[in-house]
Structure 1
Amino acid sequence: MAGSHHDKCVFPELKTDVARLTLRALTAEQADEYYALIDRNREHLTQHGDYQALAASDHQTAHAELLNDPNPSLRCGILLDSALIGRVDLVAVNPPKYGFGYWLDHEATGHGYATAACRALIEYGATVLGATDVFAGVTHGNDKSGAVLIRLGFRAAEVFEAYTRYHRSLVASPCAYPTQR
């Protein structure tokens, strides 16, 4: 069963292709830093009508969320020079099919951090968890978030009233040349 060994392993710190940018499991130990990130981004998080519940979080709610073990899903902090600047999640909806979500501090946008963080987590999902498909929803009007997904190889799969669902297949196409044995 793909990914079943994940239950026993600890999520590593993942490097990205951007120097000084890493991903690490977001846990209750980071509750104060996570809440401060939410607090200073309330307007940014809700500008397109999404992340309403997150933006409404108080410290206790944010801390309680981080106390819940997301296993088998992954909840990662995006760190720049060890400072928390965002979050990216790989959600085990129906493994090997995963949902995907991310957001960045408004001060950290426009530098390629979301693209690099998402790429690293998607690669981890494909190679370690055996993910075959990743889906993400983007609220209409959030063109920058949609652009991140397009850069990562996602395609618009379905348009709903409030958002567009994007999909990326992670299954490698068969080799053009058979392997010699």
Structure 2
Amino acid sequence: MLESPPPKQLVPDLPTLVPGLALRELTVKDADAYYKLLDNNRRHLTRLGDYQAEGNATSAWVREHLSTDPGQSLRYGIRLKGELIGRVDLTAADPPRYGTGYWLGEAYVGKGYAMAACAPLYDYAARKLRATDIFAGVTHGNARSVALLKRLGFEPVTEFENYTRFHLSLVQ
């Protein structure tokens, strides 16, 4: 008799300190809302050269992308009063070391939502996933993202031609 694979770990919803703002797993059920958010933010997402795949996304690409099992990585939609306004990921690059990426729709930038969304995810990573490090790459010129990472405790560690790598140590 064949053994069945272990059940996929449930990805918990994560509350934030901002009323009405929460993280919930981003799945294929969110494809239409995610495509609409991408479609309305193509210029915003690609202005610095980042997120080219998302900037060129079709509805079919979104459906396929969200149908792909993220494995040990976490893919969260940032939701404000239930509306999808952005995304934050925790990428299992080499656990207990993780990478992160995030973006908000342009209308939601500068309101503290990215900080409020990232903080509980990184706390969850430390407490439940036993993550020791989180890395992020920021394209040169993205001052808002640099400021966010510094507020979250990240420090720049390496300069590359097009971006700076930041590091957050989760061990005290």
Q: Normalising by the residue count of structure 2, what TM-score does the alignment of the two structures yield?
A: 0.95
Match of 2:73 in 1: 73
Code of the aligned partner of 2:90: L
Is the partner of 1:164 in helix, strand or coil?
strand
Match of 1:133 in 2: 133
Code of the aligned partner of 2:14: L
Code of the aligned partner of 1:159: E
Match of 1:21 in 2: 21
Identity %: 54
Code of the aligned partner of 1:31: A
Match of 2:4 in 1: none
Deviations 1:89-116 (A, max 9, x none): 0000000000000000000001100011
Code of the aligned partner of 2:165: R
CA apart distance, 1:146: 0.9
Which is further off, 132-141 or 47-56?
Answer: 47-56
Match of 2:3 in 1: none
Could you list the runs of 4 or more consecutive aligned residues of structure 1 that deviate by over 6 angstroms after TM superposition?
A: none
Deviations 1:65-86 (A, max 9, x none): 0001102000000000000000
What is the CA–CA distance in structure 2 between the aligned matches of 1:9 and 1:163, rounded to whole Å? 33
What is the CA–CA distance in structure 1 between the aligned matches of 2:145 and 2:128, rounded to whole Å? 25
RMSD across aligned C-alpha pairs, in angstroms? 1.2
CA apart distance, 1:28: 0.2
Aligned pairs for 1:14-163 within 5 A: 14-163=14-163
CA apart distance, 1:17: 1.1
CA apart distance, 1:8: 4.3
Code of the aligned partner of 1:91: T
What is the CA–CA distance in structure 2 between the aligned matches of 1:55 and 1:8, rounded to whole Å? 30
Deviations 1:118-172 (A, max 9, x none): 1011011110100000000000001001111000000001010000000000002
Aligned length: 167
What is the CA–CA distance in structure 2 between the aligned matches of 1:54 and 1:65, rounded to whole Å? 10
Code of the aligned partner of 2:36: A
What is the CA–CA distance in structure 2 between the aligned matches of 1:31 and 1:9, rounded to whole Å? 21
What is the CA–CA distance in structure 2 between the aligned matches of 1:90 and 1:62, rounded to whole Å? 19
Match of 1:4 in 2: none
Match of 1:169 in 2: 169
Code of the aligned partner of 2:79: L
